[in-house]
A and B are shown apart, each in its own frame.
Chain A
Amino acid sequence: MGAEQIETKWIGKRIVRPDGVDKVTGRANFGADLRLPGMLEAKILRSPHAHARIKSIDTSKAEALPGVLSVVTAKDFPEVSGMADAGEAQVNFADLSRNVMAREKALYDGHAVAAVAATSASIATEALSLIEVEYEVLPHVIDVEEAMKPDAPLLHDDLFTKNVDPKPDKPSNVAQRLEFGAGDIDKGFGEADVIVERTFRTAATHQGYIEPHAAVAEWTEDGQSRIWCSSQGQFAVRDMTTTLLGIDHANLKVTPAEIGGGFGGKTTIYLEPVALLLSRKTGRPVRAVMSREEVFRGSGPTSGSVVRTKIGMRNSGEITAAELGLKYEAGAFPGSPAMAGCMTAFACYDIENAKVVGYDVVSNRAKCAAYRAPGAPMTAFAVESVLDELAEKIGVDPIDLRLKNAAKEGTRALYGAKFKQIGFEETLKAAKDHPHYSAPLGPNQGRAIACGFWFNIGGESTANVNVNMDGTVTVVSPNPDIGGSRASMVLMAAEVLGINPDRIRITIGDTASIGYSGLTGGSRVTFAVGMAVVDASKQVVTQLCERAAQIWEVDVEGVEWRDGAAHPASSNVGDFDPLSLEKIAAQSAKLGGTITGAAAINARGAGPGFATHICDVEVDKGTGRVDVVRYTAIQDAGRAIHPGYVEGQMQGGVAQGVGWALNEEYIFDDKGRLENPGFLDYRMPVTSDLPMIDTQIIEVPNPFHPYGVRGVGEVPIVPPLAAVASAVSQVVGKRMDQLPLSPPRVLDAIDG
């Protein structure tokens, strides 16, 4: 397949997003907005201890409180087992069940231990204080390296490190060891003129979606259940909830609410099975909504990390060897993105000799969840920082240094993939040519660049395209729209059908209305679900051509579809006026019934995404405060279906990455309790903290997508950690190797 840009009429247009008016007028329904007759309110009792054995739970006083209809604990959940894929991660159902409701032990401050359904939220809250939990408080461990020590408090006495030979005879907090490599690193380091080795640390950071988790659940007498909730995938919510509760998939219909941000954090479940159990016990619909404090204490951040890396280089700038060892916090249960961290670490570069080792480590923190390019920003922080230092040491421009080693078509990445057409070099060249890169800097300002990689995924995807009798079209998408995917789906359908996008309406189907589709995650929806929409739209075009052939009484081969109408393929077919989609649709009943396309695909060939960012900072040397004063993000999008939402993804990723770099961190007290479970002291950037983030979209088409799309949502969070830290290092004169770069840490570096 070629990689040329395809001429298009609608793709690339910045149409108004289909859900925009609903959202700006406040009509859109989010997870907490639904009210059903007789609905109860649920509240969750959470562990005040970082690590404690649950000896007993007495709910009798809470149940006796007027207005309380039911209390559930882990006893109400069946024992489950098994694993399943969920987007870019794996789900272990025994762990998921225990994360949703603590069973033998509470494993972190904020771990759910019981839930109450009552006639009002205030009664439910009061009832929580009447639940008597007898805890045996155990020693706890928060820090990843502390947790790896042989004498560390043990979270799970049945956890034995995987992939270690011989199999360990004692359990530990190290869930898994990963290793892969290529070539001969000793030889490679031997050939190096310069070697830099450093250890980098990042803090756990929360996805920080503005909408807390919320769900309404209703169990009915005949066993058919319904859940309405905000998530990154109604099918994932259905499958996880039914598995945890031992019910059939078909007996739970999950209706997606609008989603106020997820960034990976809503690819798992917390409240849904709890609310459904409470509904089953009470016979009434139950609503559960987390507070912000609960979101911080109980829902997944991404891992804090310790990453050591060593890179050897010739004076020419050629990398001769690279080594990396990472330790990622998984939280209370195994499953940090250690593997993705290992795989992405050197993916931007063509390196002959390399070795990567990773550890997935549990500790007494909330179980981590996916967060935008899970695992990649931490290793990119380490690798890009060391490359920055090497460029300085050998006196080479940092972009030239990367160009010298850049992965390109045909490069085999260390993790195994052989790249097809990719746009990494193009982003580097664009960065070098960008006026930002050569603009003068003011006093106390520094500039750095950093790069990033993300795989992107495809996967199971469905779409329905229905033609209405008036010639309008309805598209049903199976995936929650987080980043503007409705607009992209409409544009792709409009392109295939040849009609104006304002003739197309799109809806997000519930689990009973459309076939299974994977999560909204992995930057996959515009790519994979987009392919399903294109496929379903093409089916519609085929049917439209067949109807035209019927009307004209010619062979279907004699009909071609262009500009939203059937035309005779040549003058040999006959002299017919074009038949528009509207005209054909009006006669659909007579000609065989409704015109409809339904696609179900497993999309392959998601093109990897690459980005190069340029960051300028200004450091207040008296206080250690850092301001990002200019930022440019350059990224290969393959093809920007709706450039506005591509730019939005790029800017959003940068904003989150800057927060990660500068101020976001979890602060625990000496008992392992989270001290900053709110936006006041968990400092995400506010609008005034960021400059206008400039964007430049590069389009090197992905040959596996009909319009060349690559996922764009994740890679923009990969470079900012290193871009910000390296720019600060320029001003401070010292390599900043620990995040966040909070004012006290930066002032310490300045003052020595």
Chain B
Amino acid sequence: MPSIDYVAPTSVNDAVAALAAASGNGRVLAGGTDLLVQMRTGQITPQTIIDIKRIAETREIAESDKAFVIGAAATGVEMSAHNGLKTTFPGIVEAMDLIGSQQIQGRASPGGNLCNASPAADCVPALIAAGATCTIAGPNGTRDIPVEDVVTGPGQTCLSQDEFVVSFTVPKPPPRTGDAYLRLIPRTEMDIAVVGAGVCLTLDDAGVCQAARVALGAVAPTQVLVADGAAALIGSTIDETALNTLAAAASAACNPIDDKRGTVDYRKKVAGVLATRAAQKALERAKA
């Protein structure tokens, strides 16, 4: 078996340098719950593994007045244990917590979930719905972009070969905001989303929706931000008419394929159903 170099830099700059040195044959290791599996099955054969877990910025979950900053290599367990994050964005935390088993939760990270670039990644629609951005480090410093702009296709991201995601920033929302993420899997756990739907919405004092974002997973080559779905909610009290319009918009936004996990028709139908249910759950949370 060909040998593999393993490096574990302790700073962002060293990690960028290691990636540059690997000239395209390096892979970033966070929790490894996708990377190691892909290496074992021979899907990928990296020459250098750059473990980012020793870089402080990738491991922290920091809360300020303005935002939560979640390290790209923070684990699912750590996110679930963060009371502030869990109270403010239960949808993000629940989405992350859906990934794999308890053992996987001890390793799996939001950065890995995003950069693996699976259309079915659970954490990603929830982050998109919450309006999260991510900080990407590269040779020219860092840049911040919306999460929805990172994945460009199955297994593809907009990151260049010497860039990596350091952290996510989720702005603190106004009062009366709620979020939720729901997914459809045939089983109850240990499965991959056939459809995922994340909704984040904000109400005014009168219970009228002031802001909303709707994101879908597993129904297109990338996660989909459903602007029409958000538009259906904004200005409404999330009543039946708004929800029906949301469902239709969600179904229309899908561009799925028939595959072993589901059919086109099924995914379109269920995208509407789950978007509606996620909106109802987010609504309850916004009112609470």
Question: In the bound complex, how far is the Cα of B262 from the Cα of A681, in angstroms?
Answer: 11
Nearest A-chain residue to B274, judged by Cβ: A623
User: How far does the Cβ of A293 sit from chain B's closest Cβ, in whole Å?
Assistant: 8
Question: In the bound complex, how far is the Cα of B187 from the Cα of A623, in angstroms?
Answer: 12
A683, B269: Cβ atoms closer than 8 Å? no
Q: Digit string of B171-190 for contact with A (CB within 8 Å is 1, else 0)? A: 00000000000001011111
Q: Given A743-B266, A747-B269, A686–B260 Cβ distance below 8 Å?
A: no
A625, B266: Cβ atoms closer than 8 Å? no
Cβ contact of A688, chosen from B184, B188, B273, B277, cutoff 8 A: B188
Q: Which secondary structure characterizes the binding site on chain B?
A: loop
In this complex, the interface size class of chain A, counting residues with CB under 8 Å from chain B, is 20 to 34
User: How far does the Cβ of B250 sit from chain A's closest Cβ, in whole Å?
Assistant: 13
Nearest A-chain residue to B266, judged by Cβ: A744
Chain A neighbourhood of B189, CB < 8 A: 686, 688
Chain B neighbourhood of A624, CB < 8 A: 266
A675 within 8 A of B: yes
Chain B neighbourhood of A689, CB < 8 A: 187-188
Chain A neighbourhood of B241, CB < 8 A: none
Question: In the bound complex, how far is the Cα of B56 from the Cα of A218, in angstroms?
Answer: 53
Cβ contact of A623, chosen from B188, B260, B273, cutoff 8 A: B273
Question: In the bound complex, how far is the Cα of B1 from the Cα of A558, in angstroms?
Answer: 75
B1, A686: Cβ atoms closer than 8 Å? no
Question: In the bound complex, how far is the Cα of B191 from the Cα of A681, in angstroms?
Answer: 8
B261, A623: Cβ atoms closer than 8 Å? no
- Residues of B220-240 contacting chain A, CB below 8 A: none
User: How far does the Cβ of B218 sit from chain A's closest Cβ, in whole Å?
Assistant: 13
Total residues of chain B contacting the partner, CB 8 A = 21
Question: In the bound complex, how far is the Cα of B188 from the Cα of A685, in angstroms?
Answer: 9
User: How far does the Cβ of A7 sit from chain B's closest Cβ, in whole Å?
Assistant: 45
User: How far does the Cβ of A55 sit from chain B's closest Cβ, in whole Å?
Assistant: 27
A686, B263: Cβ atoms closer than 8 Å? no
Residue from A625, A662, A663, A688 having most chain B Cβ neighbours under 10 A? A625
Q: Given A622-B270, A683-B191, A663–B186 Cβ distance below 8 Å?
A: yes
A675, B260: Cβ atoms closer than 8 Å? yes
A667 within 8 A of B: yes
- Residues of B1-36 contacting chain A, CB below 8 A: 1
Q: Which secondary structure characterizes the binding site on chain A?
A: loop
B194 within 8 A of A: yes
Q: Given A625-B186, A683-B187, A743-B194, A122–B1 Cβ distance below 8 Å?
A: yes
B273, A686: Cβ atoms closer than 8 Å? no
- Residues of A688-730 contacting chain B, CB below 8 A: 688-689
Nearest A-chain residue to B194, judged by Cβ: A743
B193 within 8 A of A: no
Q: Given A622-B270, A623-B270, A747-B269, A742–B260 Cβ distance below 8 Å?
A: no
A686, B190: Cβ atoms closer than 8 Å? yes
A676 within 8 A of B: yes
User: How far does the Cβ of B256 sit from chain A's closest Cβ, in whole Å?
Assistant: 12
Chain B neighbourhood of A663, CB < 8 A: 186-187
Cβ contact of A683, chosen from B1, B186, B263, cutoff 8 A: B186
Chain A neighbourhood of B194, CB < 8 A: 743
Residue from A622, A679, A689, A747 having most chain B Cβ neighbours under 10 A? A622
Question: In the bound complex, how far is the Cα of B263 from the Cα of A751, in angstroms?
Answer: 15
Nearest A-chain residue to B263, judged by Cβ: A744
Cβ contact of B187, chosen from A126, A676, A685, cutoff 8 A: A685
B254 within 8 A of A: no
B192, A625: Cβ atoms closer than 8 Å? no
Question: In the bound complex, how far is the Cα of B192 from the Cα of A676, in angstroms?
Answer: 13
B192, A680: Cβ atoms closer than 8 Å? yes
Chain B neighbourhood of A126, CB < 8 A: 1
Cβ contact of B266, chosen from A667, A680, A685, A747, cutoff 8 A: A747
Question: In the bound complex, how far is the Cα of B253 from the Cα of A239, in angstroms?
Answer: 61
Chain A neighbourhood of B266, CB < 8 A: 624, 743-744, 747
Q: List 20 A-B contacts (CB under 8 A).
A: A122-B1, A625-B184, A627-B188, A662-B186, A663-B186, A663-B187, A667-B260, A676-B260, A681-B260, A681-B261, A683-B187, A683-B191, A686-B188, A686-B189, A686-B190, A688-B187, A688-B189, A689-B187, A743-B194, A747-B270
9 further A-B pairs in the complex, CB-CB below 8 A; given A126-B1, A667-B260, A683-B186: A623-B270, A623-B273, A663-B187, A686-B187, A686-B188, A688-B188, A742-B186, A743-B194, A743-B270
